[in-house]
Each structure stands twice: as C-alpha cells, then as structure tokens.
Amino acid sequence: MTLLDYIKPLDKLVLESLAKRCSTTAGQLRQVAYGNRRASASLAIALDRETDGEIRCEMTRPDIDWAYLRNSATTTPEPTAD
C-alpha cells in the first residue's frame, strides 16, 4: 500500500489526527503522498509507527539504508571492561 492509497479514504479529521501524531500537517502528508515533496527521515519513521507498519520507512524514503538501522537496533552492545 502506498501513502496515497492509505490517506485517500481518510476523512479530514482522521487525516489531521494522523498528521498531528506525525508532527506534521495534513497538507504536508498530501504533498509527500502525491510525490511533490520528499518525506524527512523523521516523518518516514513517524508514518511507520503511526500506521502500525502499513506505510514502512522503506516506502517513503527508499534512499535510506533502513535495514542497517533496523539490524543495529536489535543488537546489544558489548560490555566494556573497566
């Protein structure tokens, strides 16, 4: 599902609520959905979180190596010897 497919059926209040939870505006979401603007990394992450993964970071920002970030978040750092 694309961002456009996701937001098209939303009524104005639901879209505005999603935008607020993503720290942006409904207009900005529309601009990103129609390809007129590029989502920031933080917006891509917020959309992933607020749509329960339906709009994945990889979809809105394919130029970022999300696989690396996702993998590094699951590894635990080695304890340091003092």
pTM of this prediction exceeds 0.75: yes
Which structural domain range is residue 63 located in? 3-74
The Cα 75–Cα 72 span in angstroms is: 5
The answer to whether position 80 is within a domain reads no
Question: How confident is the model over 55-71, as pLDDT tens digits?
Answer: 999 999 999 999 998 88
User: How many independent structural domains does the chain possess?
Assistant: 1
pLDDT for position 44: 98
The answer to whether position 82 is within a domain reads no
The amino acid sitting at 54 is: E
Question: How confident is the model over 6-52, as pLDDT tens digits?
Answer: 999 999 999 999 999 999 999 999 999 999 999 999 999 999 999 99
The answer to whether position 81 is within a domain reads no
